[in-house]
Amino acid sequence: MATITERDLAATIDHAILKPELTRADVDAELDIAAEWRVFSVCVRPSDIAHAVARLDGTGVAVGTVIGFPHGTTSTAAKVAEVRQALADGATEFDMVVNIGALRSGFDDVVTADIAAVVAAASGHVTKVILETSLLDDEQIARGSRLTEAGGADFVKTSTGFAGGGATVPHVELMRANVGPGVQVKASGGVRSYADALAMLAAGATRLGTSGSAVILGEARRVDAGGDAVGAVDASSY
Whether the full predicted model's pTM is greater than 0.85, yes or no, is: yes
Which residues are marked as active site? 95, 157, 186
Q: Where are the domains of the chain?
A: 6-237
Task: For the chain, list residues with pLDDT below 50.
Answer: 1, 231-238
Q: Which amino acid is at 18?
A: L
Say whether domain 6-237 belongs to CATH 3.40.50.300.
Answer: no
* pLDDT, tens only, 77-121: 999 999 999 999 999 999 999 999 999 999 999 999 999 999 999
Residue 234 has a pLDDT of 33
Distance CA 103, CA 109 (A): 9
Residue closest to 129 by CA, chosen among 102, 89, 164: 102
* DSSP code for 98: P
* pLDDT, tens only, 111-128: 999 999 999 999 999 999
Show the CA angle centred on residue 146, arms to residues 142 and 147, nearest 5°.
Answer: 115
